[in-house]
Amino acid sequence: MSDNTVTPATAATATATKPSRRWPVMLCGLCLVAGGAQALSWFMHQPKAPPAQLASDKLGMSRPDGLLETHSLSQLPKDLLAVPFLKETLTEDFVFYYQTHADRLGLIGSLRRIIYEHDLKLQDSLIEQLFDQPADVALWRGADGRLKDFLLVMDRGGLAKVLEPLAKVALDDTQLTRLGEVKVGVDEVALYQLNYNASKALVFASHGDKLVVLSNPAKLYDPGSGMLEVPGSVSIQAIGALLNGDKLFPEAFGLQPRAAEVKQRLSINASVLAMGYQRFIPNFAGLRFDMDDKGWHSFLAMDEQDNQPDFDFKPIWHAMPMGASACVALPLAAVQQQPLLVKLGAEEEVAQALTEHMAGTAGLCWYADSRLYTPLLVASLNDDDSAKLDGDLGNLFGSMVGAYEGKVEAHAFPVVEKQGGEIHQWQRQVSSNFGPYKAKDAEQPDAITGKAFMRVSLARHGSTLLFSLDDKLVDKALDTLDKRFPPMADVVPKDLLMPIYFGPDSMAQLIQQETLDSLPQDMEPVFYNAAQTYLMPKLRTLGGYGKYALTLPEGSEPDGHWQWLPLEWKAL
């Protein structure tokens, strides 16, 4: 069995974690890519070539942000709980939540009322059958960034025809309305809107063995009417194509139609995890989880870039201090980001000089003794001893870090510069209520605007560049490079391509710290007690798992768009 396979087998102890537990850890690991996207943004570059226009684009359907292809909607929660990690952390409440969700119950209630009041000859079990069918579900993000709107396509021998009696009551039912017609081949198929839960509605149409459901009627549009296409929009032409049997979804994720042996397939666009910063991490295209008879498998989609650098992450792990909660490493090519640096305050000459010196890869690590928003950034340089480079770095740091502040006279705190041997370091005090230091501990407490402050730090150690909002992490990295503190390289695989590291025990500590810090007991007693009762036991369970390295096959390198690479989780 491959290392990226998950089976329902359970492990006897947390220290003897089996490869079956590696897949779910990736959910947390890759979500950290999103948190690091902004910090890495000024190193990244644009795609080599735009992907070809998809059939769904031509038909007026926005590219989905997520795609679920399942042999049974009702079986999905149960299949997820087959993963020991998720079963132990989610428990059976996860299944019951979806069984009793207000929208699900409201929809079922509306359908049952229509069936009863109009004396339709439909079995009550029909509603449960609707949730127990093979289906493809495309999802789009809402205004808050979460996956919200969906388009469902269901295909199962004649079930859609069973729903046809519902259409006959549309003319005299307050919750069911006929919106118009959609062209399916040579046929004209009626399009209906069903209102439920007072303020909710959905659009549906059925033809032959197909049923199509759109969760948000506001996303439906007709290009011929002059309506404008909006994000997450679906044209009536696209609905007609789906009713006709066209497979419009997999193509948007670089996939072939789901094979029969794959019971569940969940694909997520990188735009969801990157939270709007996808253009800054262009190599990362998407994430996918497949389930078959052998268990769950995980995959990473990559996009090829211009002047693609080698995937060599070893320098990052030799510079990162040991004890990280999670880490992610990415290839960098900074030249295309010069305009962004200039917009952020750098002089054009400084931006050009810095990007010319960047090389190889960059990485981010989070630590339990720091904060979630203060990771350590490590990048590689192609020059390890250049006074001109240090001058440019100092100018860049001074122009981009800090702000005018102070209670008496507005000014930025001075940049403190230190140099010795291979090390050149810049540091600036910045007022912030989220800083690790209290205002009273500053040299000039009255000058701090707020309750706390940070010591933002940038350092060059030979050909390695270090940066963090937490100066203690930079100092620890300098000690690591000077061999006074052990590096991550001592605990990660030596000869494998590892872009992501995850330490559940340390991550559990970091999440607990951030949660309790955001819920002061005297101000949020209800949420604080709820976190203590429900969240903390789950975090303790998470902390019992061993450390993992996420590796890619040897020689992996993007070649085109949406190249899916198998992910292997190595227990350390």
pLDDT tens per residue across all 572 residues of the chain: 334 433 333 333 333 333 333 333 333 333 333 333 333 333 333 444 455 567 777 788 888 888 989 888 777 777 776 766 555 555 444 344 344 444 544 545 555 555 555 454 544 444 555 566 788 888 888 877 777 888 888 875 545 555 556 555 555 556 677 888 889 988 898 888 877 766 778 888 888 888 888 888 888 888 766 555 666 788 889 999 999 988 888 988 989 989 989 998 989 888 777 655 555 566 778 888 898 988 888 888 888 766 666 677 888 999 999 999 999 887 775 666 677 777 766 777 777 777 777 776 788 899 999 998 899 999 888 776 566 788 888 888 887 888 777 655 567 888 999 988 889 999 999 998 888 899 888 888 888 888 899 999 999 998 899 999 999 999 999 999 999 999 999 999 888 888 889 898 998 888 888 888 878 777 778 777 877 887 788 788 877 888 889 888 877 776 777 889 888 888 88
Within a domain: 92: yes
- Distances in Å between the Cα of 177 and the Cα atoms of 180, 182, 192, 196 are 9, 15, 6, 12
Which string of DSSP letters, residue by residue, matches 105-140?
HHHHHHHHHHHHHTT----TTHHHHHTSS-EEEEEE
* Residue 164 domain boundaries: 55-247
Count up the domains in the chain and report the number: 1
3-state DSSP call for residue 215? coil
- Distances in Å between the Cα of 241 and the Cα atoms of 181, 406, 424 are 13, 62, 62
**DSSP E strand boundaries for 187-323:** 187-196, 200-207, 210-214, 220-221, 234-235, 264-269, 284-292, 295-302
Please enumerate in sequence order all residues whose Cβ is within 8 A of that of 475, keeping only pairs 6 or more positions apart, or say none: 457
Structural contact between residues 190 and 178, judged by C-beta atoms closer than 8 angstroms: yes
pLDDT value for 331: 73
Within a domain: 358: no
Structural contact between residues 454 and 438, judged by C-beta atoms closer than 8 angstroms: no
Within a domain: 96: yes
The whole-model pTM stands at: 0.69
Please enumerate in sequence order all residues whose Cβ is within 8 A of that of 546, keeping only pairs 6 or more positions apart, or say none: 14, 15, 17, 504, 571, 572
Q: How far apart are CA 103 and CA 338, in angstroms?
A: 48
Q: How far apart are CA 221 and CA 240, in angstroms?
A: 13
Count Cβ atoms within 10 A of the Cβ of residue 371 and give its class: 0-12 exposed, 13-18 middle, 19 or more buried. buried
Within a domain: 533: no
Within a domain: 428: no
Structural contact between residues 128 and 74, judged by C-beta atoms closer than 8 angstroms: yes
Within a domain: 44: no
CA atoms within 13 A on the CB side of 222: 8
The owner of tokens 């008879």 is 293
pLDDT value for 229: 61
Within a domain: 432: no
Burial 20-54 (b: 16+ CB within 10 A, else e): bbbbbbbeebbebbbbbbebbbbbbbebeeeeeee
pLDDT value for 310: 67
Within a domain: 523: no
Angle between helices 504-518 and 536-543 (to 10 degrees): 160
